[in-house]
């Protein structure tokens, strides 16, 4: 059965005809030409297909395309500015050696973005927890964690720490 | 991969009647993280998937003011439980378990109802809920019924649910004061791992003493279904909770477990870890009771 769905893809209203049995990864790669999200394992273990749906990192290979109707999807293609300026996370992965072969990178960066949007001052443990579902076969994990840590806003973190302490003493 | 049609009912009754009209060729789907994998691998080949995501019930998470019971809708995701301050502060035993199920990506989508109906022996989500005496509300063409979660599982992949029934809600009764609980998933890796063994302990202390009023010791991967170890629980009730009594309870729980050898680990090792972890989780229960009282 073919049906039409409407959703916001990387900031742009999108209307597309899909089949019921398509998953989001298939829709993105094969029908919309967005090949940033990759198929690694196809079963929710490697995270190479990670995209952000309504603010949450999900495995697009296990997400029914039909369920995207009315939602907002962000893929790695939508992360840089319109003029091509890289997002801070992308710059950080480049400058900190967070990229080796690059296959896991879009998923890593989107998982990291979902984390930072929710928690701008994650600890190293928070970062590891958030990236646990993203495997890097080059095993460049140390640089990947460092790449994320490098964009954590340290200055506002101090301010938050003070606020938290004040709150605790109440 | 076999093609399927994806049906989107708007009410619970519509979902049930769609299932009836496609008897045998339809399955319900919520988050879909397990169903999709099984369809891709050919283990499931339905003609119809009936989505439960838009039926308007099952997404609630909160405490009923009158009864004090915690209500968790079947469609609540693991991530919602993980990030809920209610769960983290008042039901840390649930938080212990849900934060280590799958990955963030999976937890963002996978539902607690789906976790229960899959009935894998390792069911991390179920172990703490059984320790909390949770009940499951199930809805089908014959109406609604309630089952104690400890009696919900019948074997690997098997539950008491009849064809066409849906888990609408999990209800955790109000716990007595001075209750503390803790769960430990024990595996070879810190992340993306199924447990070698899962141990949940919940202890209620009598007012003004360290004597045990109620105990629950629940195990995952220790039998074909999640289990309570009744001899260990009975042993603790009425006794002072000390390192010694917890050690003894650990031994009894290990004896009562029906662990076996598998690719993930050997039975003797699992048995030893039950003993160790029951004791450690017991100590954590006491700590948590103290922390709550210090607030």
What is this model's ipTM? 0.92
Q: Sketch the domain layout of chain A as residue ranges.
A: 2-156
Higher pLDDT, A155 or A124: A124
Residues of B in contact with A169 (CB under 8 A): none
pTM equals: 0.93
Ramachandran sector of residue B138 (left: φ over 0; alpha: ψ -120 to 50; beta: rest): beta
Residues of A in contact with B104 (CB under 8 A): 57, 111, 114-115, 129-130, 132-133
B222-264 pLDDT, tens digit per residue, is: 999 999 999 999 999 999 999 999 999 999 999 999 999 988 8
Residue A155 has pLDDT above 90, yes or no: no
Mutation choice for B interface testing from A4, A18, A21 by most B CBs within 10 A: A21
Q: Which two tokens stand for residue B163?
A: 């064809």
pLDDT > 90: percent of chain B: 89
pLDDT for res A158:
46
CB B104 within 8 A of CB B88: no
pLDDT for res B195:
86
The shortest CB-CB distance from B106 to any of A21, A129, A133 is to: A133
Q: Is B163 in the A-facing interface, judged by CB distances under 8 Å?
A: no
Widest CA span in chain A:
60
pLDDT for res A166:
35
Provide the mean pLDDT of chain A: 91
Q: Is B188 in the A-facing interface, judged by CB distances under 8 Å?
A: no
- Total beta-carbon pairs less than 8 A apart between chain A and chain B: 85
pLDDT for res A1:
60
Residue A167 has pLDDT above 60, yes or no: no
Cα torsion through B217, B220, B224, B225, rounded to 10: 70
Record: contact A1-B33, CB cut-off 8 A: no
Residue ranges of chain B with pLDDT lower than 70? none
Tell me the domains of chain B and their CATH numbers: 5-51 (3.30.43), 61-172 (3.30.465.10), 179-294 (3.30.390.50)
Residues of A in contact with B191 (CB under 8 A): 128-129, 132-133
Record: contact B40-A43, CB cut-off 8 A: yes
Mean pLDDT, range A68-92, rounded to an integer: 96
Record: contact A59-B6, CB cut-off 8 A: no
Record: contact A66-B8, CB cut-off 8 A: yes
Residue A159 has pLDDT above 80, yes or no: no
CB B212 within 8 A of CB B204: yes
pLDDT for res B35:
95
> Distance between CA A58 and CA A49 in Å, rounded?
8
Record: contact B105-A111, CB cut-off 8 A: yes
CATH: 1.10.533.10, 3.10.20.30, 3.40.50.300, 3.30.110.30. Which one for A2-156? Answer: 3.10.20.30
Residues of B in contact with A45 (CB under 8 A): 103, 192
Chain A residues touching chain B at CB-CB below 8 Å: 1, 19-21, 23, 42-45, 47, 50, 56-59, 61-64, 66-67, 111, 114-115, 128-130, 132-134
Q: Angle, nearest 10°, between helix axes A88-95 and A141-149?
A: 140
The shortest CB-CB distance from A44 to any of B1, B99, B105 is to: B105
Q: Provide the H-helix boundaries in A62-123.
A: 88-95, 105-118
Q: Is B294 in the A-facing interface, judged by CB distances under 8 Å?
A: no
Q: Which two tokens stand for residue A90?
A: 């992308």
Running DSSP on this structure, what letter comes out for residue B151?
A: G
Mean pLDDT, range A19-46, rounded to an integer: 97
End-to-end CA separation in angstroms for chain A: 59
Mutation choice for A interface testing from B1, B48, B104, B107 by most A CBs within 10 A: B104
User: B50-85 burial by CB neighbour count: b if 16+ within 10 A, else e?
Assistant: bbbbebebbeebeeeeeeebbbbbbbbbbbbbbbbe
């Amino acid at each position: 059965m073919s049906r039409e769905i409407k959703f916001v893809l990387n900031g742009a209203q999108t209307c597309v005809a899909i089949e019921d049995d398509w998953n989001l990864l298939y829709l993105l790669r094969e029908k919309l030409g967005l090949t940033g999200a990759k198929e690694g394992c196809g079963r929710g273990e490697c995270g190479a297909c990670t995209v952000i749906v309504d603010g949450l990192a999900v495995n697009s290979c296990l997400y029914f395309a039909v369920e995207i109707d009315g939602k907002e999807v962000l893929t790695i293609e939508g992360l840089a500015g319109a003029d091509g300026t890289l997002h801070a996370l992308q710059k950080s992965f480049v400058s900190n050696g967070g990229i080796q072969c690059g296959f896991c990178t879009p998923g890593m960066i989107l998982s990291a973005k979902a984390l930072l949007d929710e928690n701008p001052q994650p600890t190293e443990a928070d970062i590891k927890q958030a990236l646990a579902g993203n495997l890097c076969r080059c095993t460049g994990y140390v640089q990947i964690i460092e790449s994320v840590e490098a964009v954590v806003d340290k200055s506002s973190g101090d301010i938050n720490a003070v606020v938290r302490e004040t709150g605790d003493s109440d | 991969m076999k093609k399927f049609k994806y049906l989107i009912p708007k009410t619970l009754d519509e979902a049930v009647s769609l299932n009836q009209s496609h008897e045998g060729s339809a399955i319900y789907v919520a988050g879909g993280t397990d169903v999709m994998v099984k369809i891709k691998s050919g283990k499931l080949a339905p003609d119809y998937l009936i989505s439960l995501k838009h039926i308007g019930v099952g997404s609630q998470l909160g405490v009923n003011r009158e009864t004090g019971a915690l209500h968790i809708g079947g469609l609540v995701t693991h991530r919602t439980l993980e990030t809920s301050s209610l769960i983290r502060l008042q039901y840390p035993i649930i938080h212990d378990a849900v934060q280590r199920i799958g990955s963030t990506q999976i937890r963002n989508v996978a539902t607690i109802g789906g976790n229960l109906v899959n009935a894998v022996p390792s069911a991390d989500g179920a172990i703490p809920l059984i320790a909390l005496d949770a009940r499951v509300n199930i809805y089908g063409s014959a109406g609604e019924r309630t089952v104690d979660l400890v009696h919900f599982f019948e074997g690997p992949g098997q539950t008491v649910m009849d064809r066409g029934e849906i888990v609408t809600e999990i209800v955790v009764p109000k716990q007595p004061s001075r209750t503390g609980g803790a769960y430990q998933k024990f595996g070879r890796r810190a992340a993306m791992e199924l447990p070698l063994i899962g141990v949940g302990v919940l202890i209620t202390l009598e007012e003004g003493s360290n004597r045990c009023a109620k105990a629950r010791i629940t195990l995952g991967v220790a039998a074909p279904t999640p289990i309570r170890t009744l001899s260990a629980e009975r042993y603790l009730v009425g006794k002072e909770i000390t390192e010694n009594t917890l050690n003894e309870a650990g031994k009894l729980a290990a004896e009562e477990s029906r662990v076996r050898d598998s690719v993930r680990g050997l039975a003797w090792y699992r048995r030893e870890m039950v003993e160790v972890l029951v004791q450690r989780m017991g100590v954590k229960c006491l700590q948590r009771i103290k922390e709550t009282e210090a607030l």
